[in-house]
Amino acid sequence: MRGGVLPPALLFAALGLALAFTPRRTWVPSILVLLATLAVFTFIIVPRSWLDGVFLACWISVIATAATVHRTRGLSPYAAVGLSLNTGVWASVVVSLSGARLDLLKALPWVLILLPASWLVGRYAPIPVKVLSSWIIVIAVLAATLQLLPVTPGYLPDHMD
């Protein structure tokens, strides 16, 4: 078991934290692009054999998106929209391969972390946001590594199954 709500939730949370460092005028286009991408890619059929590659791309996206909070100059509006597009693609593909469509709806509210994060950033207190993003990066690095394990992780059948 490695699908479900958590992978898209981490992607959405990372995007929310990244958008907190962008001007407010970029929020609406970014969220609209995210929703449109989710709507389109949810219905695209992806070959089952792509599962590992899709998960790896998902974790790399989480790491890259969360890492943008450490950019000293923040994100440009185009980069913010690009990140939303990327988030929408991988969240919907990951869920279509290893979850239910409802998982996307359950995970989507995590993007609202943008609101408290931007409140903190606006009050010159970005540190908790950066610390939180580093935790998200850590989870994604661990999850990406688990795919490369020489031993049997819990989500694969083993001698007991």
Partner 1 sequence: MAAAAVVESLLSNPAAAHLGTGLPGGFLSGFEHPLSGLDHLLAMVSVGLWGAFLGRPLIYVLPVVFPGLMVAGAIMGMFVVPLPPVQVGIALSVLVLGGCIALSAKAPIWAATLIVALFAVFHGYAHGKELPSAADPLNYSAGFVLATGLLHVSGISLGFLNDRPRGLLATRSLGGVIAAAGAWFLYQAVRA
CB within 8 Å of 17: residues ≥ 6 apart: 66, 69, 113, 114, 117, 129, 132, 133, 136
Applying the rule CB under 8 A, the residues between 91 and 110 that interact with partner 1 are 105-110
**Could you write out the DSSP letters of every residue in 69-130?**
GG-TT---HHHHHHHHHHHHHHHHHHHHHHS-HHHHHHHGGGGGGHHHHHHHHHTT--HHHH
Binding mask 8-27 for partner 1 (x = CB under 8 A): -xx-----------------
Q: Does 67 bind partner 1 (CB under 8 A)?
A: no
Q: Does 141 bind partner 1 (CB under 8 A)?
A: yes
Choose one: 25-33, 39-47, 82-90, 142-150; the region binding partner 1 (CB under 8 A).
Answer: 142-150
What's the rounded Cα separation, in Å, for the pair 12 and 17? 9
- Per CB under 8 A, the list member of 36, 40, 112, 122 interacting with partner 1 is 112
Residues binding partner 1 (CB under 8 A):
1-2, 4-7, 9-10, 105-110, 112, 127, 130-132, 134-135, 137-139, 141-143, 145-146, 149-155, 158, 160-161
